[in-house]
Structure 1
Amino acid sequence: MKSKKRKSGNNSCWLTLLLLCCYLPLWSVVAGHGNDTNSSEQRQARLVFTSEIPRIAETEHGDYAELATLLKQYRREPVPLFFLFGGDSLGPSTLSSFDRGAHIIDLLNLLEPDAMGVAKREFSFYEDELSQRSYEASFPLVASNLYDPITGANLDGLESGVLVQQGDIKIGVIAVLSPAAQEQYPLKRVMIFDAKTAVREQSILLRQAGAELIVLLYSANFDFIEPLLSQQLIDLALRKNELFRLTSNVKAPSSPRHINLMASSEVAVLDLSWQKSDPATLQVQPNIVLLKNFAPEPKVLSVVKNHSARLEQLLGEKIGLTRVALDTSRRTVRSEENAFGNLIADAVRLHAGADIAMLNSGNIRGEKQYKAGATLTRKDIAMELPYRNQVVLLQISGQQLLAALENSFSELELLRGRFAHVSGMQVRYDSRKPVGERVLAVTLQGKALDLNKKYTLATFDYMAGGGDGYKMLTELPQQNYPNQMNKLVAEVVVDYIKQQQQVAPVIEGRLVDVGRAMP
């Protein structure tokens, strides 16, 4: 493994300590910003946590410039302050589709996190790009349950656990991913192993290295969080879950040491107190603040503006208008037929000359409302489709298509991105039925789906590679088509709108959930 070069802030220094672990090596990183505290039995510290800030200068919730002001305000106070960033931010966004998230690392370097947890969106551009981002960061990126067969350990550049220090207080940081990330982002190399096992091992190692408290950063629905808190294997669990209010099957945290942010603008400012050498005495006083209530820090705002100006130069072109209102909010896009989803599916099907098209909703990321008569720009489409997907044409049997549709409806309750929008077919399904039995009827051009017939399917290369659980597509033969070229899906949609000049996609019964219609 190559040696790591870290950029240091004015108040930071790095000490790297290698500990042995039966699965992965643990690197301990010690950094300092604050003033030394005395060695009395009563310990105090403050911890700032947030995550999921993939966009800059295009959000009303505040971003890195406002977060910089918040941090500057609290760092003036004498209490040792730790800043932990939960990740889920290197993608997707309009700008990250160009620089693979490098601008996010650039901004975070100005904010000097003590550590950043790796979440699934850090794999938006796959393993090698994440490894490269880690070497651009002046702070450690932590993923505690990853294994890379090439290195025989963690992905190059990532840490399995870190020990961070402010004053004379040392805190251990662990971050775990869900194995489901391997389906949602078809990783080509690294493996995600059992998260609970990783937490147990890293907790022991970090305690042995001198951690007074163990903090877990996580980004999926794990059922072991509160049991591990009660067993004192971890002392604090932190997550930001903006989908919490949209899903009904996720329990709210009950432990005061289990913090779950639920809105885009939220930041947790946690005042911690405990007796030295006794983490069981930890008391947490949470203060949830909103980024949008802080003024932007001028230096960071200048960097944000410089990055966003690059976008305006690239993407300011007007491409057409919509005669109807469009809604790309997460709930509508990931749970039902959607007019914008229909537009994309039609554009892709026509581009490839396919019988049908099927596109996962997780690639639509705009979270925006467009009024009827609104002018659409190239930036709008790049924001809606930030991933660097291309169109592929597959030959698929009716039986395989049925399996793909069942996968589309398999996690409706969780609003997963595998929910697909279609073109060239109509599907009736029942969300009340068991997973794998939800599709009731499929028609193509007025004819019932023939399970033995071959059809041509236009889709994203992401889905053809097995992303979002579409493993049934991975072995299908790819077909050549007349317009085939290395063109991103966003460009295909831009060309379609420019050709039409005015678009008016509608909801027309392509996806009908009979379970929703009945009491």
Structure 2
Amino acid sequence: MSSDQSDCGRRTAVRSRQGEPATERSQVYAVEDDGELRPKEPAEIDAECGCGRTHTRRTFMGATAAAAGALTLGSQVSGVAAEEPEGDTVTIVHDLHTHSEIGEPGEPNIARYWNVVQDQLADRDDAVFLANGDELGSSTISFFTEGAHKIDFMNDMELTAAGVGNHDFDYGVDVAEQRFADSEFPWLNSALYTPDGDLFPETERYTTLEIGDLTVGLFNVVLRNFHGITDYPEEYEQRDPVETAREMTQLLREEEDADVVVCSSHTPHETHFELAEEVDGLDAIFGSHSHYTMDAAEEHAGTVISEVGYAYFHLGVMTLDAEGNLVSWERIDLDEDVEPDSKFKARVEAQYEELEDELEETIGETAVELDTSGSITYGREARIGNLITDTMLDAHPDAEVAFQNGGGIRTNTTYGPGELTAGDVLSILPFGNEIVVFEATGAEIEQVLENRIDTLPDNAFGAQQGQQVAGLQYEWRGHEEPEVLDVFVDGEPLENDETYVVSTTDYLKDTADAYAPFRDADLIWESGTALGPALMEYVETNSPVEPELENRILRVDADLGPQLGVRREDDRTLLCFEAPEHAVAVADAETFVGVTADADTDVPAPETVELEDDRLWIGYDTGELQSFLGRSDAAELRLFGEFEPDDDGYGYTGTDGELLELPVAAVYDRFTLKATLDASSASLQPN
């Protein structure tokens, strides 16, 4: 089913983008190297779009308050209008991009959306309704229908055409081809071809529309690295968006005599500026891969760019004149007062009634709160991540380590303590990727760990490691270059030349770029079961589940090394360490965590932590410390705690030479230090 999908009982090779955190209104996302998305900070959006050039949001055509067209009750409009143009115009109403969602009754949904679309089409003789892709996967409903339910709705929505997107291949190329064939509107696809060089079946390379005396040419482009984020086979061809746009624009201008050329885009927001600069004659771009919501259309290098976010929160209405110039633009924001189309409303309710019994079935309980927010699943070890990866280990008796990417854990909400339903689990893991098991070397495992690290100062949300694991305990550092420090498997150091049995999803093994070291490994076992149903079975069998935080993932911003010395004061043992560079404060002792390679070891906590000039003193109760050393065969005890550096702490500066204000990460209050207690030191032994 999409990048992480599964098929309730039937096996489907389904891989696609695993990684988009649940979208919020007006949120902008950046695309990572592995195809996953992360939310951008406002400053990052306003200052630089990602193409290396600085842009600002601008309101064109005078920014008057008037907005062309009738409004539906309860909707709000932002936009611009110009003087009445001479000659013909074309109005593009856009653009769905729903990941196969239809919206729940009472929420923003397709029934309300369709009512507003109908108003816009009825009030304009020059209007066409266009989509930009991502309509077939992956939602809870599509888990059961593989997108067929969405085609049924779209066939009744007077769509002129729809571009293709990565989630339209969430259930594989065969399902995509069938869904395209079942559609009563054309799917535009200018960049995706079969191994034989033929256009992907049941799609059209472009289309032209006759609107008044205007000929309007439409085509579609998709993001780079399409293979890396969806179930699009390696042997199938994907063409570069800029090269494709240049070729299609020239064709439409010269061979089809198009007066206006428009691109239905499924590329990231920042790629639009590249398209505008590199493609002559391209009048307008609508949609995007990034779920970016504009406050006004943007005109760059002569090309109008219009993006109105995700699903049923906004509708874009863009009018162009015969020269391709922007005449007016509006973003209609739908709220709870928008009246739904009565027929669609009844169909939405019926669709949910069909699933209600299955989705509301209680499968078990969780004794602890499970938080699925992206800031946690990307930033640190999470209980939900441990539960999912423990399920992977449990799936095969020989599995030693397991991986789950943070973006494959969805919903951005919390569950429990309390009951878990089938709908809860399938919302958290909506994709149809199945669990697979294979062998990998320690070196390959370490490379995967490193590949997932986002570093400061480049990552706007701070250093993050982007995944959840089981069977592993590892340390990572995210400053300038990703670093993996100590790694242990079942309490033993990871050996580069050793072979380990890995359990993960077929999407991660076969498709996701960060996991490319696993790509060529021969499978030991294919489960035939998608991760979502596997987790349902695990919860049912082990209910109530109570995943613990076990120090599987340990952040290190400053490694202080082993103790410089030991001092005894009455019943206290004080260990001296080099202080973190530029440190101005350290956290309280009770927040420090002691860790050994064996997660089951009961480790004493320090009683005091004091920063004195360039030294850090960590104090233990002597009896407790010596008792631990006596019963443990650990060669060292690692301590992790938070500290705060001064403004010059890491010295990251912007292009203006000024120090950057950098976030630690959404789930950390301060940076993290590591101090190592050398258990073999004679000064720590009993007197």
On whether the aligned pair clears a TM of 0.5, the verdict is yes
Cα distance per residue 1:400-428 (max 9 Å; x no partner):
1112222222699499x993210111222
Aligned to 1:257: 304
1:485 CA drift (Å): 4.7
In structure 1, which of residues 294, 297, 301 is the aligned counterpart of residue 338 of structure 2? 294
SS in 1 for 2:364: strand
Aligned to 2:617: none
Residue identity in the other structure for 2:181: Y
Report matched runs for 1:59-458 at 5 Å.
62-150=108-196, 152-188=197-233, 189-207=235-253, 208-221=255-268, 225-226=272-273, 228-229=275-276, 232-240=280-288, 255=300, 257-262=304-309, 264-274=311-321, 276=322, 278-279=323-324, 281-290=325-334, 292-353=336-397, 354-370=399-415, 372-409=416-453, 413=459, 419-434=466-481, 437-458=482-503
SS in 1 for 2:478: coil
1:322/1:374 contact within 8 Å kept: yes
2:162/2:187 contact within 8 Å kept: yes
1:210 CA drift (Å): 3.6
In structure 2, relative to structure 1, the CA distance for the partners of 1:211 and 1:508 (3 Å cut) is: farther
Is 1:470 matched with 2:515?
A: yes
Aligned to 1:5: none
Cα distance per residue 1:125-169 (max 9 Å; x no partner):
12121111110111111121112124x321111122221344554
Is 1:518 matched with 2:565?
A: no
Is 1:42 matched with 2:87?
A: yes
Aligned to 2:504: 459
Distance 1:286 1:391 in 2: 45
Cα distance per residue 1:66-92 (max 9 Å; x no partner):
111011212221442111112112111
Distance 2:217 2:107 in 1: 30
SS in 1 for 2:529: coil
Aligned to 1:16: none
SS in 2 for 1:459: strand
Residue identity in the other structure for 1:64: I
1:260 CA drift (Å): 2.5
In structure 2, relative to structure 1, the CA distance for the partners of 1:478 and 1:192 (3 Å cut) is: same
CA RMSD across the alignment: 2.9
In structure 2, relative to structure 1, the CA distance for the partners of 1:329 and 1:141 (3 Å cut) is: farther
2:265/2:289 contact within 8 Å kept: no
In structure 2, relative to structure 1, the CA distance for the partners of 1:50 and 1:243 (3 Å cut) is: closer
In structure 2, which of residues 530, 533, 537 is the aligned counterpart of residue 495 of structure 1? 537
1:265 CA drift (Å): 4.0
> 223-232 vs 449-458, which deviates more?
223-232
1:263 CA drift (Å): 5.3
In structure 2, relative to structure 1, the CA distance for the partners of 1:166 and 1:478 (3 Å cut) is: same
Question: What's the TM-score, normalizing by structure 2?
Answer: 0.62
Distance 2:444 2:106 in 1: 43
Distance 2:155 2:170 in 1: 20
The structure with more helix, counted as a fraction of residues: 1
SS in 1 for 2:450: helix
Residue identity in the other structure for 1:266: F
Distance 2:185 2:165 in 1: 16
Listed as ranges, the gaps of 5+ residues in structure 1 are: 1-39, 246-251
Distance 1:486 1:422 in 2: 21
In structure 2, relative to structure 1, the CA distance for the partners of 1:125 and 1:203 (3 Å cut) is: same
2:307/2:316 contact within 8 Å kept: no
Distance 2:320 2:97 in 1: 27
SS in 1 for 2:252: helix
Distance 2:470 2:417 in 1: 24
Question: What's the TM-score, normalizing by structure 1?
Answer: 0.81
Q: State the percentage of identical aligned residues.
A: 25
Distance 2:541 2:453 in 1: 33
2:224/2:267 contact within 8 Å kept: no
SS in 2 for 1:470: helix
In structure 2, relative to structure 1, the CA distance for the partners of 1:143 and 1:362 (3 Å cut) is: farther
Distance 2:217 2:505 in 1: 40
How many residues were matched structurally? Answer: 463
> 301-310 vs 344-353, which deviates more?
301-310
